[in-house]
Amino acid sequence: ITLVLQNVLISISFLLLYAVLSLSSSSGAMGCALISGVVTFCAAASLASTASSFAIEKDWIRCMSDTEQQFQQSERIFARISAFCRIGAPILVGLVLTTWSAQVAVAGIALWHVLSGLLDYSILKRIYFAVPELAARKRRRYEHLSSAQRPISATE
């Protein structure tokens, strides 16, 4: 859920940013409202990203690790990937912004984000169904509830 929410919020913020860049003058009430929307949706997307990262890095990795050593090694790998992305993404965005106009760059980055979000979702879905412990862990979380109180996804 957090991955989908994150992608929707980022897409909305990119649409608002594109609207800001399309205005001839972004000073005034409409420009301020659009910029406020961009900031608000980006902040909400950041929260969804944190929730998604926490679920994957802490919950899923622990569930898929057989030993504490394997868990620690997996955490180190995720930390390296995360550090690379946090350093590389701003550099890549800077190159895109200096190469093309701001509107084209925003549209291109938005398209890239939507496509990568679909790829993320499909990969996570494959992992979820390939590792039965992930689904079993979710079912155990709702065992104390009656079938009417359980979320639909927990009864599958």
Domain extent, residue 58, equals 1-149
55 assigned to some structural domain: yes
| 23 vs 139: which has the higher pLDDT | 23
Taking residues 101-106, what's their average pLDDT?
88
Asked if residue 106 is part of any domain, the answer here is: yes
Is residue 155 predicted with pLDDT exceeding 70?
A: no
Q: Among candidates 33, 40, 36, which has minimal Cα distance to 9? A: 40
Helix (H) or strand (E) holding 37, with range, is helix 29-54
| pLDDT per position as a tens digit, 52-71 | 888 777 778 888 888 889 88
Number of domains in the chain: 1
Q: What is the pLDDT confidence band of residue 49, given thresholds at 50, 70 and 90?
A: confident
Confidence of residue 139 (pLDDT cuts 50, 70, 90): low
In a domain, 155, yes or no: no
156 located within any domain: no
